[in-house]
Structure 1
């Protein structure tokens, strides 16, 4: 009884405490708000940061550039065209003059729409909030950053007029192509002053900050026009325009300026990628980058970068509209040592090395043959290269690939030779035999992050990947199965020399070491004329350029040309093609990737040992007859070939007569694999 009364008393005390806390909550919140408002008022107006931009250095501590603050032109709001102010207000914050920094109506509407669609599709940031964030805060998603954004927003609203806030916003917002503020944007895009902008020009500019790369009329004119239409329609809804004026503005011709040919920056695509990493990955604020005197040390090797840019420039003729991209990285740690995102940064700053995704064609086959080596195949496994129609999906679908030029061996060839000749029939047979998921898994483990599908054409590289992804995947083979993460920044220091960020390279063993090495040695075969068959090895046009032992693979589709390869010290991938996927149908176009890659690689390896590949334990080297896949003897031409120990052939080619030749190596594989391949072998 006594115990029961004590429990009841404790329950009553808890209820009273809860009710008291609930009653005090509004007072506590109100007190907190008052303190926040007083703090914002006492803090006073906010100064625009002074210009002490972050300095960028390469891996040898040589200056390469800085955080770009040069393309800023502060202009009094009275000297801006009314149309740019109205267009910006309409699309970014139409109730700007009615709220005090926070548009609670818009916040509620945004929350309702997000809850209904179960997505984070609607934004509710006001111009004041964006101004505070862009100028003084980082892009991280923490509660502290949100609280700081609220504080700075209140501070701006309490100490500056709406006119001053709008002026600051319009002078600091980023419009792409290095243009900060409407004055710079007007000059970059139209070669005009902000006061002379037309409604058509203003509505185009106002749509760009939402996605400077996506809505740049220089890069994506159609998308920019769609965005302009949204801006104009919003201006109509806001009561700033009539439908007739909006229609006239949309249809008005826009004479775009040509991007200025300013002084060429060192590694401009690389520097852009570094800027993105600083803000989006390391979450360093633009204020700190523009005025904090930071030092940013990168992975770039300036000499290697110069080689990459030289061979791009001296390989593709100036009159050609074809584009290219190149990535070179150190496979041991993932540091990007060279990056070319296009032929001319001033004309097109879009980085094709990191942001574009294209079908790699046969350059994807190394991932397939790694999976095959792990599923019963060896470099000496033979399959017949003949025109074949493949049935899959339980007989509901057919697939009929073709070899380049319509050439076939019309007899069995080894996997080593199939890779060197880039035989598509052999690849698809292998893909279906081992199970199509095996290739998907091997590629993803190697570092390919793009979506892949277990379909027959995946063996021929039908799914798009980026140049950086392919280089990362090849780096895993160069590392004997250890995957790395590509990186650009090694260290960031503040103006006092204190380290704000330091890179800690990490490797993860994701593939079998012995199998990865065997594959790498198979990939050297694209330069070896001893593997010539019904056609020449795919690296033959540039084989004489190379004096080092290199593992590589070419790739091509109707609109893409690739070459990628590696040594244990360097990985490089090159893509050549047209931005809009136009067909590559001329001989020079199809050879540019090989030429750029081979000359760059040879220059980059100058002064290093001719062969840096060293076999791990568990691998054996034997001489193989490329035609039969058997051990070479006096009567057969031999080529040194590596095998995982225990999988190498044991029969010499001269011991086998022609009648039994077509069956000997097939018996080396396990019975389930034999059964799947038998109807293609016949």
Structure 2
């Protein structure tokens, strides 16, 4: 009997030793595994905290004009920008030991584990704020053991690499509050129409209850359930010593105003401009589509909301609603290239095709100022004469004959000046100048002025038969307007990432590419399209809008069979307007051809309201003299019409006009000036 008992004890001892050894081995393995996991987590470093956030677009005065998102409204804000009431309420109801644990609340985990085992399913959660944040960042929300293990690993990485403040800030910016609102800021704006830092205790305790189940506890779904949840949250805040009972009672009875509307829901503000900005972010800043749409960027643009509204309203008001003619407009600040207004079509919903930046259309005679600038560089002056008459150009290199025509087949049939040729838009003068300079000259000049489209080296290039973009033509005229400095169209002033770091800032400065004196001479020539003194065999091309002008403008109109243009500027603003048919239908009606000019002058006049009236100041190296517009010679007292015209110093005409001497009648004898009486005689003059 004793022998059997001893054998049993010896066997039991062996089992105990075996169990002890196995336990030690198990603990060692567990320690090794845990150490390995921690080491691996440390080696991996901090997990990225990037989450989808709304990208916001701002006008030049800081007004939000648009937003990009994937249905998740989220605006990242720092923890200091969230109401302390919401912070305390969230910690109190979600994870009261947040500041003391290392990412896991083991007591809660044990309780949840027992409940899950009893139910043989994942029925109860014990996730801390750190765990929920890990899930929001990296994982789906299905209740599986595999997901929980991944969640635990990401939680470890978060706790190892980020402070409690950073984790709490991230959690409050990623948690879902229902109705498409992610994060405290978006939720506060949606439910209460105010930023998160302004939330009261009553509002914060309502909001803190929503994440448990937005379909149940949202005040928009059930105010009764929301108030029940609010009471629970306030009670936990009292228990956890965040507030006292009196504050809780006040919060329960606090009147609430529920807005239920997302911030920045308007999408109609400058839609074509916003599309152009997105394109610039992609092509110029090399940002990918996801970053643009969901990167939480703040994009500060150049658009002026007043000018944009004027542009849109002017086009809508002046073009007949039943007309199929399309229109585009670009206005720019000529000093820095900032685009202040951009319209790419009459209706974005019907056609998002952006005619201001995408369409390539024939510019017609708006190309002539670039040609004549090149002529000025090659010795021409505003008084250079050439004959305007029906002309057929023949070439030695087997090219076809070319016979350009003037509008309505009207010609001077005599010599005219370059200033008058521009004002009347004489095509014969333009083609002669183009061929005299050589076809390469205008091609190279167009590139200098920033035109990127292909220019065909043909005689008709002088008449604008090679396509251009509206925004590039506006930019080209900006170079004239600012005195010859190179600018490029600027849509974006600055871009910040979701942290507020500046990732792009436009610092381009204008630099001279034209001779200032020649740029001014060209500008002064372009004021001629609004000056009846330059009328000749036909009227100046700007005659129909002269009476609408309240200040000095320079510009040029242009037209082809399918396109109508007007581009012009003051010292403060340049704008380009195109009208025409998308499908290239011919413009037959006179009224249709006048749309561009009428839109342009109304936009310019309204956009300039409140701006000081400024003229174009002649720079050093220029001289202004009065000339006879018909022959470009110095005007005399006998000339019936004389116009102040500017030249580069040393190129002004020296010959006086003698055309009117033959027709001058004998001058009447000058009346003798009355002699001035001494003051003392006036005292006694009673007559």
Say whether the fold is shared (TM-score over 0.5): yes
Residue 671 of structure 2 corresponds to: none
Are 1:271 and 2:274 an aligned pair? yes
- Superposed displacement of residue 657, structure 1: 6.5
* Residue 652 of structure 2: aligned partner: 648
Give the TM-score taking structure 1 as reference length: 0.61
Establish whether residue 66 from structure 1 lines up as the match of residue 67 from structure 2: yes
C-alpha separation between the residues in 1 aligned to 2:593 and 2:278?
33
Bigger radius of gyration among the two: 2
Do 1:483 and 1:510's aligned partners in 2 also have CA atoms closer than 8 Å? yes
Residue number in structure 2 paired with 1:427: 430
Distance change >3 Å, CA 307–CA 70, structure 1 → 2: farther
* Residues in 1 aligned to 2:482 and 2:502: alpha-carbon distance in whole angstroms: 30
The match for 2:287 is: 284
1:607 corresponds to: 610
CA distance in 2, matches of 1:543, 1:39: 78
**Which of residues 442, 446, 466 in structure 2 aligns to 1:443?**
446
CA contact (8 A) 2:69 2:294 kept: no
CA distance in 2, matches of 1:648, 1:658: 25
CA spacing shift, 1:608–1:405, aligned 2, 3 Å: same
Equivalent in the alignment of 1:293: 296
The CA deviation at 1:658 is: 7.5
Structure 2 counterpart of 1:458, from 453, 457, 461: 461
Aligned residue number for residue 500 of structure 1: 503
For residues 340 and 438 of structure 1, what CA distance do their matches in structure 2 show?
32
Match of 1:55 in 2: 56
The answer to whether the 8 A contact 1:360-1:562 is kept is yes
After superposition, where does 1:410-559 map in structure 2 within 5 Å?
Answer: 410-559=413-562
CA distance in 2, matches of 1:423, 1:277: 38
**Correspondence 1:591-630 to 2 at 5 A:** 591-630=594-633
Matched with 1:317 is 320
> Do the aligned partners of 1:53 and 1:289 also contact (CA within 8 Å) in 2?
no
- Count the aligned residue pairs: 435
* Residue of structure 2 in register with 1:339 after alignment: 342
Pair 612,497 (structure 1): closer, same or farther in 2 beyond 3 Å: farther
Q: Quote the offset at 1:280 in angstroms.
A: 2.9
Q: What is aligned with 2:255?
A: none
How big is the alpha-carbon RMSD for the aligned residues of Structure 1 and Structure 2? 2.8
SS at match of 2:624: strand
Are 1:385 and 2:388 matched, yes or no? yes
Find the residue that maps to 2:558 and give its secondary structure.
Answer: strand
3-state SS of paired residue (2:361): coil
1:281 Cα deviation from its structure 2 partner: 2.1
Structure 2 counterpart SS, 1:331 = coil
Q: Which runs of 5+ in 2 are unaligned?
A: 1-38, 74-136, 138-149, 151-264, 664-687
Write the distance in 1 (CA, Å) between the matches of 2:279 and 2:44. 31
The structural deviation recorded for 1:567 is 2.1
> 1:370-409 alignment to 2 at 5 Å?
370-394=373-397, 396-409=399-412
The verdict on how the C-alpha distance between 1:68 and 1:630 changes in structure 2, with shifts beyond 3 A counting, is farther
Query: For 1:162-214, what per-residue CA distance to the aligned partner results, in whole angstroms no more than 9, with x for missing partners?
Result: xxxxxxxxxxxxxxxxxxxxxxxxxxxxxxxxxxxxxxxxxxxxxxxxxxxxx
Change (3 A) 1:292 1:535: same
SS in 1 for 2:658: helix
Give the whole-Å Cα distance in 2 for the aligned partners of 1:643 and 1:497: 52
CA distance in 2, matches of 1:403, 1:39: 80
Cα 1:315–1:385 shift into 2, 3 Å:
same
Q: Secondary structure at the match of 1:391?
A: coil
Q: Distance in 2 between matches of 1:288 and 1:400?
A: 54
1:322 and 1:287 map into 2 onto residues whose CA distance is: 36
Report how far residue 598 of structure 1 moved. 0.8
Match of 2:555, SS state, is strand
Distance 2:280 2:649 in 1: 44
CA change 1:417–1:288 in 2 (3 A) is same
Cα drift, residue 292 of structure 1: 3.8
Q: Which runs of 4+ in 1 moved over 6 A?
A: 46-49, 655-659
Question: Are the equivalent residues in 2 in contact too, given 1:298–1:489 (CA < 8 A)?
Answer: yes
Q: In the alignment, is the contact (CA less than 8 A) between 1:521 and 1:641 conserved in 2?
A: yes
1:1-16 equivalences in 2 (<5 Å): none
Residue of structure 2 in register with 1:583 after alignment: 586
Alignment of 1:14-33 (within 5 A): none
Q: CA deviation at 1:71?
A: 10
Corresponding residue SS for 1:521? helix
CA offsets per residue over residues 294-349 of structure 1, 9 Å max, x none?
21100111111111101110011111111111111111111111100000000000
Structure-2 change in CA distance of 1:633 and 1:494 (3 Å): same
Q: How far did residue 369 of structure 1 move?
A: 0.5
Q: What SS class does the counterpart of residue 321 from structure 2 fall into?
A: coil
Give secondary structure in 2 for the equivalent of 1:417. Answer: helix
CA deviation after TM superposition for structure 1 residue 532, in Å: 0.9
SS of the residue corresponding to residue 60 of structure 1 reads coil
